[in-house]
Structure 1
Amino acid sequence: MHDGRQETIVVRFSPVGCGNFSSGGSSPATPSGHSVDSDDGSTSTDENCPEDPREFRRHLSRFAPSVIADVDPSSFRPISPSFSCILTDVDKHLQRMVLLIPAFSVATASSVARTDALRQWLAGFDVGWVMDMDDRRSLPRREVGRRVREWAQALGTMERVFRHGHREVRSPVNDATAAELAALGQLAAESAGAMLSLADSVVALGSSPSKLLAALDVHASVSETYPGLARTFSWPPTHPVSAASDAALTGLLNASRRCMRDLRAFIRAPQYPWRMPQGGEVHPCVSFWMGYFRCMLRNRVSLYFVLAGGRDGDGDKEQTTPLATDEGGLVMELISCLEAVLEEKSGALAFPGLNQIFMLNNTSALVQRAIRSDLSIFLPPGWVLAREELMEGYLKDYLEISWAPVVSRLEGKPGALSVLRRRNPLSAFYTALENVCSTQRGWKVPSPALRSILRRTVSENVVPAYRWYLDDHPEVEVPTGRSAEELEHQLSELFEG
C-alpha cells in the first residue's frame, strides 16, 4: 500500500455552498381552514341611515369631494352576515362613518342604536367578531395568528380614518361641528375599547409559541395606534380608553415574558414534534424554529420591552428571565438550544453514520436559514466558521464510521486463501461496499451542494484506495462491472433518498 492512502480526505465547507435553502422568511405555518365567526350580530334597523337626500348631504357636507362623490345612501344599510367585501379605502370608510355618526350623538342616540352602529362599523373592517369576545376563552388557539393579522390591519386603517375624519369635521368651529366632533370621538372611543378585547383574549391563552408571537404583534399595534388616537381626540391619560390601553400593554408584556421563559422548553417539547426522519434529512423543526425566531424580531421594540424585564404578573417582585436581555443574545441562545436538541435527538438514529449525516443536513440548514435572513445581523463574526468546523468534524466522523472499515478490507493479501472468500481482501471489500451502499442509498441529503460534497469526499476516500490496490496486485482478476470508474459511478448515486 502507498503511504497515506488510508488518510481521511475532508473537504472544507463554504457557508454559501452548504445548501440551497430559502431564507425562511415566512413565519411558521399557521393552520388554515378555520373561518372567523360568520355571525357579526347585524340587525335590520335603518334608524342610522337617513332616507332624506338632503339629510344625507348635510352629513357629508364637511368632507372632501372625494368622500362625497358617487355616494348612495342605500349602500349603508345594516350589514348582513353574508357581507364579504372588506372596505379598505379610507374614503369608503369615511362615507360609512358619516352615516353612522348620528348614532353616537349624546343628545339623540339610544344605546341600542349605538350598539348596532358600532357593530356595523367594525364589521366593515371585517373585525365585527371583537364584540363577541367578552368571554376571555372565546379566541380559538388555531385562529390566533389569522385573527391578529386581520385585527392589526383593521386597527391601523381605522386610526387613519378617524384622523382624516377629525380633520374634516373640526373646521369651521361652531355648535354643529362641536356636536359632530363629540359624536366622532364617542365612535372612536367605543371602537378602540371594543378592539382591546382581543388583547385580553390573547393574554388569557395558555403559554405557547403562538401566544408569544400574537402578544408581541398586538402589543406593537396597541403601542403604535392608541397614542395617536389619544392625540387626535385629546384624551387625557385618565380617559377610559387610554387607561384600558395601558392596562392591555402591561398584560401583554407580562404574558410575553412568561412565554419567553418557556421558550427553551417549547423547543425541546416532543409535541412540536420530534419524530426523527429515518433518512437523516433536515428535521421540520429547523424550518419552523428558524422562521419563528425571525417572526419574533419583526416587533423589535416590543421584544426589547419584554427582554428588559420589569415586574411579574402579580407586580410583587422583580421578574427575571433566564434568556439573554438583548435581541442578539436571545437569537444566539435559542439557536444554540435548537442545536443542542438536534445533537441529542440524533443519537436515536439506529444506523452507524446516520446521525452524522443528520447533523450535517441540519447544521447546514441552520447556517443557510441564518445567513440568508435578517437573523444574520445578530450573529457574531465567528458563528458561521464555527458551524463549518462542526460540519467538517461530522463529515470526518462519518467517513471513519462508514467507509474506513470498507477500505480497510483491502489491507489483506489475495491468493493463498481464495477458496475462503470471506478472507479474500477483494471479496471482503466488495461485500462491505455493497452493504454500506445498500443501506445508505436510502439516506437523503436535500441540499445539492452538500450532497455533491459528500459524494466527492466518499469517492476520494474509497476509489483511490481501490485503484491503488488493483495497481499493486495486477494478478487479481477484476470482475465485470467492478472497475474503478464503475465504482465511482456507484458512489455517485448515494444520498438521493
Structure 2
Amino acid sequence: MAAHARFEVAEVGDDGSSSGGSSPASVSGPSDSDGSSSTADEFPDARELRRRIAPPPSTSSTTGEQVSFHSTSPTSLCVLSDIDRHMRTMVVLLPAFACPAAAPRAEALARWLGGFDLGWVLEMGVDGSCRGLPRREVGRRVRVWTQAWSTMDRVFRLRHREVRNPINDAAAVQLAALGELASASAGAMLKLAAAVAALGSSPSTLLAALDVYVPVSEVYPGLARMFSWCAGAASHPVPAAANAALAALVDAARRCVRGLPASIRAHYPWRMPQGGEVHPCVGFWMGYFRCMLRNRVSLYLVLAGGRGDGDGDLAPWEGGLVVGELISCLEAVLEEKSGELAFPGLRQVFMLNNTHAIVRRAVRSDLAMFLPPGWARAREERMEGYVKSYLDASWAPVVSRLAVAVAAAAKPAAVSVLRRRRDPLAAFYAALENACSSQRCWKVPSPALRRVLRRTASEHVVPVYRRYLDEAEAPAAARAVEDVEQQLSELFEG
C-alpha cells in the first residue's frame, strides 16, 4: 500500500533517466543536460589520486639526494607560449604608444586586440551593441573576453616588472607607453561590459553579467596603478568608467534575478509531455541554477545589497535563499501545468517524475550546499504523497469493483441482490484492462520509481483480487492471480 512507498536520498540517486532537457550551455559554458554528475562516482580517493599523479622521485647520481621533478602540463605550456607571444607583440607595439600621434596608436591597438581574438570590441558601441547578436554568440564573446582579459593582465604585469628595474629615462618612457597601452586596452574592453549591462532582463544576461563582473572587479584595481603613469592620471577616465561599468553590471544582474520567476514561467516552451515523463524545463533550469552559482561570489556581492525596487523582488542572499525560492517557483509552475494532464493518475506520475528529477539534480551537485536543511526530505515526503494520490486516482476505482463484491458475499441476504447486478469480476477486468493499457504507455525513466510504483500498485490490487477469488463465488474461468501480477509488472514501459 502507500505506506510502503518510502523514498530516501540514496534511492533518489538511482535514476536511469536520460531526459534532462537542454541546458544553458550556450551562455554558461559546459553542458549540464544531465545535471547529476557525482565526483565521488568518477574520481578515486584524494590520497589515491595524489599517489597516481605524483611523479616518482629520482636519485641524483652525483649527490645522492632525492630530487622531485614536477612535469608541466600541456595546458600550462600553452599558456606560457601565449604569454611569450603576446610579450613579443607588445615590444613591437609599445613605440606607437610612446608618441602622441593618434593614427599609429589606433593601428597598434587594433593589432594588439586582434592577437587576443578581440578585434570586435573596437566595433562595439556603448548603446547595447550585443542586442542584435544571437545568445550563443554573446556567450562565446564573453568567454573569449574573460579568458583574454586574464592573459592580458598577466602580460601587463610581467612587462611592468621587467621594465621598472632599474628605473631610468628609457624605463620611464617604456612605463609610460605601457600605461598608455593598458589604458587604451581597458577602455576598449569596457565596451563589452557596458553592452552586456544594457541587455534585457533575460536568464542569459544574468550569466553574462556575472561572468564579466569577475574580471572587471579583479583586474581593474591592479591596472589602475598602470594608469597612474599616464599624463593626467588624477582625472583618468578609465577607472571611473570601470566603476560605472561595475555599477551597471550590478544593476543588470539584480534586475535579471528579480525577473527569473517570470522567466521560469515563460522562457521555456510549456508543452506538456503526454507520457508524464520529466519535462525538458527541469534539466534546463536546474542546469541554469548550477551555472548561476558558478560565480557564487559575484552573485553574493550583487545580491548583498538587499531587496531592489519593484514588485516581486526576491529576498536578499541568505544561505541560498535565492536558489531555494527559484526551485520552489519551478515546482509551483510544474504543479500548475500538471493540471493539463486529465487522465486519472497521470498528473501524479508527472509530478513524481519531475520532483524526483529536481531532487536528484540538486543532491548530486553543488546546489545541495545552498539549500536549507530538510529540503530533500520534504521533497521525499511530497513524493510519497504523490504515490498515494496516484493509487487513489488510478487503482481505487478498479479495486472498488471487487471490494463491494467481497463485502456483499459476506452477507447472505445480499447475495441475491449482488447476482442481479452486473458481474463484478467482469467490471474489474474491464477497469483493469483500461488502466493497464493506458499506463503501459506512461514513462517513468527512473528504475527506482518504476519499482516503487509497480510494487505499490500490485500491493493495492492483488490482495483484493485474491480475497475475491477465495471468498466470493468466482467462476472457473477467472484469471490467475499471477496473470494480474504480470499485467501490473508491465506498467510504465513508455
Gaps of 5+ in 2: 29-77, 410-414
Deviation digits for residues 174-195 of structure 1, max 9, x if unmatched?
A: 2212111111111111111111
Corresponding letter in the other structure for 2:153: E
Could you say what secondary structure the match of 2:151 adopts? helix
State the shift of 1:494 in Å.
Answer: 1.2
Q: How far apart, CA to CA, are the structure 1 residues paired with 2:197 and 2:150?
A: 21
Deviation digits for residues 98-121 of structure 1, max 9, x if unmatched?
A: 1121221125xx322221221121
Could you say what secondary structure the match of 1:117 adopts? helix
Does structure 1 conserve the Cα–Cα contact (< 8 Å) formed by 2:227 and 2:236?
no
Structure 2 equivalent of residue 441 of structure 1: 440
Does structure 1 conserve the Cα–Cα contact (< 8 Å) formed by 2:183 and 2:227?
no
Q: Does 1:242 align with 2:234?
A: no
Does structure 2 conserve the Cα–Cα contact (< 8 Å) formed by 1:370 and 1:376?
yes
Structure 1 equivalent of residue 366 of structure 2: 374
Q: Aligned match of 2:490 in 465, 489, 493?
A: 493
Q: Does 1:159 align with 2:153?
A: yes
CA 1:336–1:31: 2 relative to 1, 3 Å: closer
Does structure 1 conserve the Cα–Cα contact (< 8 Å) formed by 2:27 and 2:204?
no
Does structure 2 conserve the Cα–Cα contact (< 8 Å) formed by 1:417 and 1:424?
no
CA 1:320–1:427: 2 relative to 1, 3 Å: closer
Could you say what secondary structure the match of 2:238 adopts? helix
Structure 2 equivalent of residue 192 of structure 1: 186
Q: Aligned match of 1:400 in 388, 392, 399?
A: 392
Q: Aligned match of 1:288 in 265, 279, 284?
A: 284
Corresponding letter in the other structure for 2:385: G
Q: How far apart, CA to CA, are the structure 1 residues paired with 2:8 and 2:378?
A: 12
Gaps of 5+ in 1: 1-6, 33-84, 313-317
Structure 2 equivalent of residue 99 of structure 1: 92
Structure 2 equivalent of residue 391 of structure 1: 383
Could you say what secondary structure the match of 1:219 adopts? helix
Q: How far apart, CA to CA, are the structure 1 residues paired with 2:389 and 2:223?
A: 62
State the shift of 1:204 in Å.
Answer: 1.6
State the shift of 1:359 in Å.
Answer: 0.6
Does structure 1 conserve the Cα–Cα contact (< 8 Å) formed by 2:21 and 2:280?
no
Q: How far apart, CA to CA, are the structure 2 residues paired with 1:132 and 1:447?
A: 50
State the shift of 1:355 in Å.
Answer: 0.8
Does structure 2 conserve the Cα–Cα contact (< 8 Å) formed by 1:324 and 1:330?
yes
Structure 1 equivalent of residue 313 of structure 2: 322
Q: How far apart, CA to CA, are the structure 1 residues paired with 2:307 and 2:490?
A: 59
Q: 196-205 or 455-464: which moved more?
A: 455-464
Q: How far apart, CA to CA, are the structure 2 residues paired with 1:431 and 1:310?
A: 60
CA 1:396–1:249: 2 relative to 1, 3 Å: same
State the shift of 1:246 in Å.
Answer: 0.4
Give the paired residue count. Answer: 428
State the shift of 1:308 in Å.
Answer: 2.5
Structure 1 equivalent of residue 127 of structure 2: 136
CA 1:133–1:347: 2 relative to 1, 3 Å: same
Structure 2 equivalent of residue 119 of structure 1: 110
Deviation digits for residues 193-232 of structure 1, max 9, x if unmatched?
A: 1111001111221211111111111112210111122235
Q: Aligned match of 1:275 in 271, 274, 299?
A: 271
CA 1:347–1:321: 2 relative to 1, 3 Å: closer
Structure 2 equivalent of residue 49 of structure 1: none
Q: How far apart, CA to CA, are the structure 1 residues paired with 2:21 and 2:84?
A: 33
Higher helix share: 2
State the shift of 1:465 in Å.
Answer: 2.1
Deviation digits for residues 19-45 of structure 1, max 9, x if unmatched?
A: 52699999624289xxxxxxxxxxxxx
CA 1:196–1:234: 2 relative to 1, 3 Å: same
CA 1:470–1:319: 2 relative to 1, 3 Å: closer
Q: Does 1:428 align with 2:427?
A: yes
Q: Does 1:258 align with 2:255?
A: yes
Structure 1 equivalent of residue 468 of structure 2: 469
Corresponding letter in the other structure for 1:306: V
Corresponding letter in the other structure for 2:390: Y
CA 1:430–1:227: 2 relative to 1, 3 Å: same
Does structure 1 conserve the Cα–Cα contact (< 8 Å) formed by 2:27 and 2:207?
no
Q: How far apart, CA to CA, are the structure 1 residues paired with 2:463 and 2:417?
A: 25
Structure 1 equivalent of residue 218 of structure 2: 224
Q: Aligned match of 2:164 in 164, 170, 174?
A: 170
CA 1:199–1:385: 2 relative to 1, 3 Å: same
Structure 1 equivalent of residue 334 of structure 2: 342
State the shift of 1:279 in Å.
Answer: 0.9
Residues 356-375 of structure 1: pairs in structure 2 closer than 5 A? 356-375=348-367
CA 1:189–1:22: 2 relative to 1, 3 Å: farther
State the shift of 1:86 in Å.
Answer: 11
Q: How far apart, CA to CA, are the structure 2 residues paired with 1:86 and 1:478?
A: 79
CA 1:264–1:364: 2 relative to 1, 3 Å: same
Q: How far apart, CA to CA, are the structure 1 residues paired with 2:115 and 2:252?
A: 30
Q: 405-414 or 359-368: which moved more?
A: 405-414
Does structure 1 conserve the Cα–Cα contact (< 8 Å) formed by 2:22 and 2:284?
no
| Cα RMSD (Å) | 2.9
Could you say what secondary structure the match of 2:316 adopts? coil
Structure 2 equivalent of residue 77 of structure 1: none
Corresponding letter in the other structure for 1:279: G
